[in-house]
Structures are given as C-alpha cells and as structure tokens.
C-alpha cells in the first residue's frame, strides 16, 4: 500500500497518476481538511472533493476542481436574491455538499462520508481526511486575519501572507484509518501540494510527523515531489507564502520544511542545480520532469516516483513489503 499526502489540485494530479498505474486498492490518499468551511449552511471540503472527483475522472479538466460539464444555475438563482456568490459551486457539485452535510448532521464521521462518496464514484483507492475533527486555516495578512477561503478565493490570494495558523489543530486527532495506513505503508509520497497550507496542516495534526518519522526510521521510503519549479509555484500562492514566512521560494526550501521526514525529493530539471544543496539535508534528490499537463505526464511522474522509491529502498538495504 502506498500512502500519498495531498491537498487539492496539485496533489490530486499526482495521486491520479499513481492511481492509474498502481493495481486497484493499492493507494491511500490522506487529504488536507483545513481548507474546509461552511457556506449556505453546507459543509464544503474543497481538497477532498478535488481528490475524489479527479480519481473518479469527473474533475473539470480546465480548472482541476469542480465537476466537468457542471452548470451554475443554482448560483445564478442565488444572485437573483442579491447573494454575492464568490465561491463557485456547480449544480452537480451541490449534491456532494448537501449529502455530506446531512450525513454529518446525522452523526457520521467525515471519514465515513468520504468513503461513501469514493464507493459510489467507484474509486478503488482510499481517500481519507487527515482528521475527523474540524481544523481551519487562518491567514494573517496586512488586512487582518482572514479565513482561508476568504484569502484564497474571495480575495484571489493577493494579500501578503504574514503568518498561517490552523485553528483547532491541537485538539485534532489522527483517525484509526490514517494511523493504520501510515503504520502499514510500503512507501509514503508527499504530493506536489502547497507545503504551507496543504501538506502543512496534515503534518501539524498532533502525532502525524512522529508517525511518518517512525516509518522512515523503520526503512519505509518517504518521498516528496516539489510543487516549486524554477522558484515559482505552478499555480496559486505557494511561492509567495514561502517568502512571506521567511523561506526561500525554492525546492530546497520545500525539502528543508520536510527535512526529518524525507528519504528523497523529486525536483524539476529546471532546479537541477539545487540537487547538491538538497542532498546536504540528508536526503536524495531525483531530477526529472515534474510538470503535469496531461494524463500521460501524471503517469510518467508517478512512475518516476515509484522507481525512485524502489532505488531508495534498495540503497537503504531494507526490504519493506513486496
């Protein structure tokens, strides 16, 4: 079993590549839930939805999020009532939010809700929320503290980032499902998701870093794919967030953030000259093409990641799994 950690669009692309080349039921994706919020009294899970829509082949290829071919009549009707519809929710997408909210209100755990969606969408992978407990990213900016979607969507991540907090994280618990997945993982992959607000919250769940560290110490290869190419995020604010928080905007900085956890990191050809510096952090670096423009790119990068893992396992002299 391979365990991938992912946020939304960037993470889902590599998770999809892994899903397409692995045998069924060999992939578990642990997904960030600190982007989750409530809108029109509905619980929205932007990253979880992106991951199961993507693996199900339903995601809108133009945006990477939402459902392909969806319509937006409900939002148009809301606007007729004077609503400022700053968050895009398609009509088909609404079905997910309606049912999720109803199931959660009737006492289901978020893990069970996602399981029901993945089963119904015939996704043969486990897609697990990082925790069943509510965690909410808050971004400190010159304009004040902003709820994550306010910063990211309503204000188009234009504000300078001075700090990031995950409200509720101290009380958040690792679920039994996530714990079992990580302790029995054959390898662990950090997808090319935003290191601060996508992978950051997953690693901040109390005990998560320790679980991954213990796996690595026991010889399980732990590999990240850098979301930064040539000093820039391919989309979104990861580069500006890194610099706002006092880091370099580089693959090296990503490697540094994950430093005790990784056996290796995959970086783009464009960042080849960073490889030697990354290796001073005590991890291996693989240089390859990391830009995923289509399904073939996703599969190729996933294959490169799996080959890198196989080499690391061999180099470590420890054979784990098959």
Task: Record the tokens describing residue 298, joined without a space.
Answer: 């996703």
- Which residues ranging from 265 to 294 are in contact with ligand GDP (CB under 6 A)? 290-292
Rounded Cα–Cα distance for residues 99 and 185 (Å):
31
Q: Could you say whether residue 192 binds Ca ion (CB under 5 A)?
A: no
Quick count: other Cβ atoms within 10 Å of Cβ 321? 11
For residue 154, state whether it binds ligand GDP (rule: CB under 6 A): no
Q: Which two tokens stand for residue 226?
A: 């850098």
Is the CB of 47 or the CB of 274 nearer to Ca ion? 47
Strand partners of residue 267 = 287
Instruction: For the segment 22-81, give every residue that binds Ca ion (CB under 5 A).
Output: 35, 47
Under rule CB under 6 A, residue 225 binds ligand GDP: yes
Our CA angle for 198, 200, 201, nearest 5°, is 80
Q: Which residue among 9, 67, 110, 265 contacts ligand GDP (CB under 6 A)?
A: 9
Site string for ligand GDP, 179-208 (x = CB under 6 A): -------------xxx---x----------
CA 123 – CA 127 distance, rounded (Å) = 9
Q: Which stretch binds ligand GDP (CB under 6 A): 3-11, 90-98, 142-150, 202-210?
A: 3-11
Pairing verdict, β 27-31 and 136-141: unpaired
Q: How many helices (H) and strands (E) does the chain have?
A: 13, 14
Provide the mask over 29-68, with x wherever binding to ligand GDP is found by CB under 6 A and - wherever it is not: ------------------x--x------------------
DSSP assigned state of 316: T
On whether the CB atoms of residues 95 and 121 are closer than 8 A, the answer is: no
Instruction: Write out the residues near Ca ion by the rule CB under 5 A.
Output: 7-8, 35, 47
Instruction: Write out the residues near ligand GDP by the rule CB under 6 A.
Output: 6-11, 13, 47, 50, 192-194, 198, 225, 227, 229, 233-236, 238, 290-292
């Amino acid at each position: 079993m391979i365990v991938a950690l992912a946020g939304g669009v960037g993470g889902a692309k590599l998770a999809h590549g892994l899903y397409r080349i692995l045998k069924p039921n060999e992939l578990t994706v642990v997904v960030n839930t600190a982007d989750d919020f409530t809108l029109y009294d509905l619980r929205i899970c932007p990253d979880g939805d992106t991951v199961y829509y993507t693996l199900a082949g339903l995601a809108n290829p133009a945006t990477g999020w939402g459902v392909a071919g969806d319509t937006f009549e409900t939002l148009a009707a809301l606007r007729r009532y004077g609503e400022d519809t700053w968050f895009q929710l398609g009509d088909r997408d609404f079905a997910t939010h309606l049912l999720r909210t109803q199931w959660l209100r009737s006492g289901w755990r978020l893990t069970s809700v996602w399981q029901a969606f993945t089963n119904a969408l015939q996704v043969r992978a486990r897609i697990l929320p990082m925790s069943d407990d509510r965690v909410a990213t808050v971004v400190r900016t010159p304009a004040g503290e902003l709820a994550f979607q306010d910063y990211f969507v309503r204000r188009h991540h234009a504000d300078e980032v001075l700090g990031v907090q995950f409200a509720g994280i101290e009380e958040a618990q690792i679920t039994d499902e996530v714990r079992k997945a990580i302790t029995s993982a054959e390898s662990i992959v950090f997808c090319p998701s935003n290191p601060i607000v996508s992978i950051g919250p997953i690693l901040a769940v109390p005990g998560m870093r320790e679980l991954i560290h213990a796996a690595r110490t026991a010889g399980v290869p732990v590999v990240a794919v850098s979301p930064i190419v040539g000093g820039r995020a391919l989309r979104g604010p990861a580069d500006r967030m890194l610099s706002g928080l006092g880091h370099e905007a580089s693959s090296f900085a990503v490697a540094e953030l994950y430093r005790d956890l990784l056996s290796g990191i995959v970086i783009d050809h464009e960042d080849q000259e960073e490889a030697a510096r990354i290796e001073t952090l005590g991890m291996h670096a693989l240089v390859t093409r990391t830009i995923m423009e289509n399904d073939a790119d996703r599969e190729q990068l996933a294959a490169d990641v799996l080959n890198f893992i196989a080499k690391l396992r061999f180099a470590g002299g420890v054979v784990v799994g098959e």
